[in-house]
Amino acid sequence: MRILITGGAGFLGSHLSDRLLKDGHEVIVIDNLFTGRKQNIAHLLGNPKFEFVRHDVIDPFKFEVDQIYNLACPASPPHYQFNPIKTTKTSVVGAINCLGLAKRVKARVFQASTSEVYGDPALHPQPESYWGNVNPIGKRSCYDEGKRCAETLFFDYHRENKVDIRVVRIFNTYGPRMHPNDGRVVSNFIVQARKGEDSTIYGDGSQTRSFCYVDDLIEGFLRLMTQTATVGPINIGNPGEFTMKQLAELTLKLVGGPSKLVHRPLPADDPKQRRPDITLAQKYLNGWAPTVPLEEGLRRTIEYFKTQV
């Protein structure tokens, strides 16, 4: 197949490109390189089955493709809050442009949605049936509401125009090719420890997240895209749940060095807890479950960062 990936020069998109090329497909990446890097796809540029186009998804695009993966959107809070209006446009107009193209060329289209659609969840762990607890006017809203509106568009194009959609809700994923300045917690703690700087814990560090290693996530993407029993939304993430204090301590243990834990103010609307209910993924995605434990995934990610900082 010929497959379009928006945001394909980013962290997840570059791993998805690798996997699809390995499986024998042709890949076209479009990316405006806001948070993505040519470095992430440099090893693919000589491959005749790979094409990169610098393009912004808020401007229309046309490609003759069989499938579309829509990943374009900054994912780290500091980056999506840098230009919040642009973030909402990227999510909403980007979704409309992907769905319009999918309708026209009859391509199956995949949306990278997020656990942020659950906001600061009042239900724990979070099943797909939970409608969420999202502030519509806060600093995270550009991302959360943009992604929620994108889901709405996907399901309306599906109902109204029979577009063949797949929607995944991704929980915190980490691994090689995260940008050293990404600002998300795993890369921050690793980079800080490697530089001998203190680990910045926001708030008291009791808030929890569940961390999925990138290879497990990409396997889930492929399984969702190749089955026909559900269009989603489907949670994909690792149900192992850790406090940020535990994550900082584990990272320091693995990296070594003199760093200490320091506390910084908790950002507004920071979710207190997050853990995916993966019952649906296991049911529809052939028993999908994460295989890489946090400590092992962190070791692999630390090896990558040794080449970066």
| Catalytic annotation, residues | 143
Does 148 engage in binding with ligand UDP (CB under 6 A)? no
Alpha-carbon distance of 230 to 186, in angstroms, equals 32
Angle at CA 144, nearest 5°, toward 110 and 202? Answer: 120
Q: SS3 of 276, please?
A: strand
Does 184 engage in binding with ligand UDP (CB under 6 A)? yes
**What is the sign, positive or negative, of the torsion defined by CA atoms of 35, 8, 138, 132?**
negative
Distance in angstroms between the alpha carbons of the first and the last residue of the chain? 37
Does 34 engage in binding with ligand NAD (CB under 6 A)? yes
Alpha-carbon distance of 202 to 207, in angstroms, equals 9
The residue type found at 228 is T
Q: Minimum Å distance from CB 143 to ligand UDP?
A: 8
Does 210 engage in binding with ligand UDP (CB under 6 A)? no
Q: With CB under 6 A as the contact rule, which of the stretches 11-19, 38-46, 91-99, 197-205 interacts with ligand UDP?
A: 197-205
**Residue 74-103 contact track with ligand UDP, rule CB under 6 A, x = bound:** --xx--------------------------
Q: With CB under 6 A as the contact rule, which of the stretches 20-28, 121-129, 167-175, 252-260 interacts with ligand NAD?
A: 167-175
Partner in contact with 209, chosen from ligand UDP, ligand NAD, none, beta carbon below 5 to 8 Å by kind:
ligand UDP
Angle between helical axes of 214-226 and 11-22 (0-180°, round to 10): 60
Does 145 engage in binding with ligand NAD (CB under 6 A)? no
Which residues would be at the binding site for ligand UDP (CB under 6 A)? 76-77, 172, 184-185, 188, 200-202, 207, 209, 244, 267, 270
